[in-house]
Homo-oligomer: A and B are copies of this chain.
Amino acid sequence: MDHLDFSSAYADLALDARDLASRASGNQSIPGVDASEQDENGIKITVIDITSDEGAKAMGKLPGHYVTVEVPALRQKDSDLQDRVATKLAQEFELFLQKLGISKTAKVLIIGLGNWNVTPDALGPIVVENVMVTRHYFELMPDQVSAGYRAVSAIAPGVLGTTGIESSEIVQGIVEKSRPDLVIAIDALASRSLERVNTTIQIADTGIHPGSGIGNKRKGLTKETLGVPVIAIGVPTVVYASTIVNSVIDMMHKHFKQQTANTGQILGMLDQLQDSERLELVKEVLNPVGHDLLVTPKEIDQFIEDIGNIIASGLNAALHEAIDVDNVAAYTH
């Protein structure tokens, strides 16, 4: 989430993109986009497949397989819920690997993107610290490794501002030397909507793409650059002040609509603008005075630790058959 590193980090969740695209299409289904939802005890799973260029264009997202786990109650410290989310995540991640045709012995390298000195950006490094690493046993004493495990390695490469080297270059070097069959990259994201901050985990098979801008010399973490499939796991942990304002005006619109036909009287021109136009307007006001800050909830320290543990537990259970989803939490820190 380093500003110079991955401007794509600020890209929409597929879920945000779908919401936008639905609204634009008047809530009709979008050609080339398959979506299904399931809600289980406060954990909502949305699977979105973008299967054609048409769908990709409508969504503003790359073709691919996107799974989102939404848990509105995740912001509250509830360890039972957290265990359930870890278990659900493990199941979804196993299905995800199956769908991609990743074998049970495929060697995995987990990359924790982000900066451990910046709490809302420390998700990747925290997952790396808590994930079970096994590759060295396979290398040094292969005949002593129990059945039901695979070779997993993990590294947090830091950010451009602290290493002086693009994360993608570091990862490429490590992939070439350590030869995994699959890369899983964890990153904190910026959210398009207030309610998804710290409540949502997205899994996607599209890798991680740098933005354009400065980054024309820069490379992402994708099958093209690394030579192996790249699964990205992202959690929105920050939101722009402008996004908050825009979200809230939208919430006001919905709120007043239940009370009056004439919401325009209350919200003026703000009521008629398209979502993206209104956002531009808010940015136009905030940017010149330097106040379009990226913000994060006050409880971010606790949240990042909790969600980091959930993802690490989920990965441990999904990656190793010997680890049961029932006692998944025991294998993390």
Contact = CB atoms under 8 A, between A and B. Distances in A.
A178 B169 contact: yes
A242 to B, nearest CB: 8
B158 A155 contact: yes
Contact of A298 (B251, B271, B285, B293): B293
Interface in A261-297: 264-271, 281-282, 284-286, 289-291, 293-297
Given A245-B245, A269-B268, A133 B162 contact: yes
Contacts of A120: 298
Nearest to A197: B293
Contacts of A195: 289, 291
Give the oligomeric copy count: 4
A171 to B, nearest CB: 9
Interface residues of A, number: 83
A301 B117 contact: yes
A194 B293 CA distance: 9
Interface stretch (A28-36, A50-58, A135-143): A135-143
Interface in A188-220: 194-195, 197, 214, 217
Interface stretch (A11-19, A41-49, A86-94, A146-154): A146-154
B295 A297 contact: yes
A7 interface: no
Contacts of A174: 165, 169-170, 173-174
Contact of A155 (B165, B241, B252, B302): B165
Contacts of A299: 118
B134 A164 contact: yes
A252 B163 contact: no
| Majority DSSP secondary structure for residues of A touching B | helix
Contacts of A139: 217
Interface in A209-267: 214, 217, 238-239, 241-242, 244-245, 248-249, 251-252, 255, 264-267
A241 B293 CA distance: 12
A81 interface: no
Interface in A67-126: 72, 75, 79, 117-121
Of A166, A245, A269, chain B has the most CB atoms within 10 Å of the CB of A245
A78 to B, nearest CB: 13
A164 B140 contact: no
A176 interface: yes
A285 B255 contact: yes
6 contacts: A136-B166, A170-B173, A173-B173, A241-B248, A242-B248, A244-B245
Given A121-B298, A266-B268, 5 more contacts: A136-B166, A170-B178, A173-B177, A197-B293, A270-B270
Interface of A: 4, 72, 75, 79, 117-121, 129, 133-136, 139-140, 151-158, 160-166, 169-170, 172-178, 194-195, 197, 214, 217, 238-239, 241-242, 244-245, 248-249, 251-252, 255, 264-271, 281-282, 284-286, 289-291, 293-302, 330
4 closest Cβ pairs, A-B complex:
A173-B173, A268-B268, A135-B164, A153-B164
